[in-house]
Structure 1
Amino acid sequence: MANTERTTCLVVGGGPAGMVLGLLLARAGVEVTVLEKHGDFLRDFRGDTVHASTIRLLDELGLGAEFRKLPQSRLETVAVPVDGGVATLGDVSRLRPPYNYIATVPQWDFLDLLADAAKPEPTFTLRMNTEATGLLRDGERVTGVRYRTADGAEGEIRAELTVACDGRGSLLRQQGGFVPKEYPVPFDVWWFRLPRYEQGGEVSGLSPRIKGNELLLLINRGDYFQVAYFLPKGTDRALRAKGVRWFRETVAAIAPELADRVDSIESMDDVKMLDVRLNRLRRWHSDGLLLIGDAAHAMSPAGGVGINLAVQDAVAAATLLAEPLRRHRVRPVDLAKVRRRRWFPMVVTQGLQRVIHRALIGPALAGELGRFPKAPVLLTQRFPFLRAVPAYIVAIGPRPEHAPDFARRPTSAVAGRS
Structure 2
Amino acid sequence: MGSIARTSLSCVVTGGGPAGMVLGLLLARSGVEVAVLEKYPDFLRDFRGDTVHASTLGLLDQLGLGERFARLPQQRERRLLMRFDDGAVTEDFTRLPGRHQHIALVPQWDFLNLLAEAASATPSFHLAQNAEVTDLITTAGRVSGVRYLDKDTGETHRLHAPLVVAADGRHSTVRRLLGLRPRAATAPHDCLYVRVPRAEGDPDGTMLRFSSSGGLIMINRGDYWQAALLIGKGTADAARADDAAWVRRTIARLAPYTEDRMAALDPRDIAALQIRIDRLDRWWAPGALLIGDAAHAMSPIAGVGINLAIQDAVATARILLPALRRGHVTDRDLARVQRRRQWPTVLTQLAQRRAQESFVAAGINAGDTGGAPLRIPQPLRTLRHWRGFPHLFGRLVAFGLRPERLTGPLEPLSHA
Please give the TM-score of this superposition, normalised by the length of structure 2: 0.92
Give the superposition deviation at 1:119.
1.0
Out of 372, 395, 398, the residue aligned to residue 395 of structure 1 is: 398
The percent identity for this pair of structures is: 46
Amino acid at match of 2:273: L
Distance 1:72 1:146 in 2: 37
Distance 1:262 1:395 in 2: 33
CA contact (8 A) 1:363 1:372 kept: no
Amino acid at match of 1:103: A
The residue number in structure 1 matching 2:356 is 357
Distance 2:342 2:413 in 1: 28
Question: Could you say what secondary structure the match of 2:58 adopts?
Answer: helix
The residue number in structure 1 matching 2:368 is none
Distance 1:296 1:410 in 2: 28
Give the superposition deviation at 1:361.
0.4
CA contact (8 A) 1:28 1:407 kept: no
Question: Could you say what secondary structure the match of 1:290 adopts?
Answer: strand
CA contact (8 A) 2:204 2:220 kept: yes
Give the superposition deviation at 1:188.
0.4
CA gap 1:368/1:169 in 2 versus in 1, 3 angstroms: farther
Q: After the TM superposition, which segments of 4 or more aligned residues of structure 1 sit over 4 Å from their partners?
A: 368-372, 407-412
Gaps of 5+ in 2: 366-370
Distance 1:232 1:45 in 2: 19
The residue number in structure 2 matching 1:121 is 122
Question: Could you say what secondary structure the match of 1:253 adopts?
Answer: helix
Out of 50, 63, 69, the residue aligned to residue 65 of structure 2 is: 63
Amino acid at match of 2:388: F
Distance 1:368 1:336 in 2: 48
CA contact (8 A) 2:163 2:329 kept: yes
CA contact (8 A) 1:61 1:407 kept: no
CA gap 1:410/1:287 in 2 versus in 1, 3 angstroms: closer
Give the superposition deviation at 1:399.
0.9
Give the superposition deviation at 1:83.
2.8
The residue number in structure 2 matching 1:134 is 135
Amino acid at match of 2:158: E
Out of 17, 20, 23, the residue aligned to residue 22 of structure 2 is: 20
Residues 344-370 of structure 1, C-alpha deviations (whole Å, 9 max, x = no match): 111111011011001110111254555
CA gap 1:375/1:354 in 2 versus in 1, 3 angstroms: closer
Give the superposition deviation at 1:186.
0.5
Distance 2:64 2:302 in 1: 27
Determine if the alignment matches structure 1 residue 204 to structure 2 residue 205. Answer: yes
Give the superposition deviation at 1:244.
2.8
Give the superposition deviation at 1:155.
1.3
The residue number in structure 1 matching 2:147 is 146
Distance 1:218 1:270 in 2: 16
Distance 1:324 1:316 in 2: 14
Distance 1:161 1:403 in 2: 21
Distance 2:396 2:372 in 1: 26
Question: Could you say what secondary structure the match of 1:208 adopts?
Answer: strand
Out of 165, 168, 177, the residue aligned to residue 166 of structure 1 is: 168
Amino acid at match of 2:274: D
Give the superposition deviation at 1:243.
1.8
CA contact (8 A) 2:82 2:207 kept: no
Out of 46, 49, 57, the residue aligned to residue 47 of structure 1 is: 49
RMSD over equivalenced CA pairs, Å = 2.0
Give the superposition deviation at 1:44.
1.3
CA contact (8 A) 1:94 1:385 kept: no
Which shifted more, 346-355 or 44-53?
Answer: 44-53
The residue number in structure 2 matching 1:9 is 11
Give the superposition deviation at 1:332.
0.6
Distance 2:306 2:164 in 1: 20
The residue number in structure 2 matching 1:416 is none
CA contact (8 A) 1:11 1:18 kept: yes
Amino acid at match of 2:377: P
CA contact (8 A) 1:217 1:229 kept: yes
Question: Could you say what secondary structure the match of 1:242 adopts?
Answer: helix
Gaps of 5+ in 1: 413-418
Amino acid at match of 1:400: P
Question: Could you say what secondary structure the match of 2:94 adopts?
Answer: helix
Question: Could you say what secondary structure the match of 2:162 adopts?
Answer: strand
Determine if the alignment matches structure 1 residue 284 to structure 2 residue 299. Answer: no
Question: Could you say what secondary structure the match of 1:94 adopts?
Answer: coil
Give the superposition deviation at 1:269.
1.7
Distance 1:209 1:8 in 2: 48
Which shifted more, 87-96 or 60-69?
Answer: 87-96
CA contact (8 A) 1:41 1:112 kept: yes
Residues 53-95 of structure 1, C-alpha deviations (whole Å, 9 max, x = no match): 00000001111111111111112333334334x4133112232
CA contact (8 A) 1:319 1:404 kept: yes
CA contact (8 A) 2:192 2:229 kept: yes
Distance 2:6 2:125 in 1: 18
Distance 1:83 1:68 in 2: 35
The residue number in structure 2 matching 1:255 is 255
CA contact (8 A) 1:215 1:230 kept: yes
Distance 1:142 1:248 in 2: 50
Amino acid at match of 2:350: G
Question: Could you say what secondary structure the match of 2:163 adopts?
Answer: strand
Distance 2:411 2:159 in 1: 26
Give the superposition deviation at 1:408.
4.4
Residues 141-185 of structure 1, C-alpha deviations (whole Å, 9 max, x = no match): 111111111221111111110000100000110110111100001
